[in-house]
Amino acid sequence: MYCKICPNCYGDSYSSSPHFTWICPYCGKDITREQGLPAGSPLVKKILEEIKTGQEKLIKK
């Protein structure tokens, strides 16, 4: 399984292959060209944590 983080809405979505057309299930953006990461990799977790932290900072602003 592969995971991609949508650069538009920051939603994470999963697929068995990173090579097919990949549409974000949350906002409908074509994220085929985004880099696919192995699902469950520490990098995915790190990115999601950073997004969460970033959003909290924005809310606090």
- CB of residue 59 to Zn ion, shortest distance in Å: 19
- CB of residue 24 to Zn ion, shortest distance in Å: 3
Q: How many residues does the chain have?
A: 61
28 dihedral zone (left: phi>0; alpha: psi -120 to 50; beta): left
Q: What are phi and psi of 49, to 5 degrees?
A: -65, -40
Encoded one letter per residue, x for contact with Zn ion by CB under 5 A and - for no contact, window 6-35 reads x-xx-x------------x-xx-x------
- Interface residue list for Zn ion (CB under 5 A): 6, 8-9, 11, 24, 26-27, 29
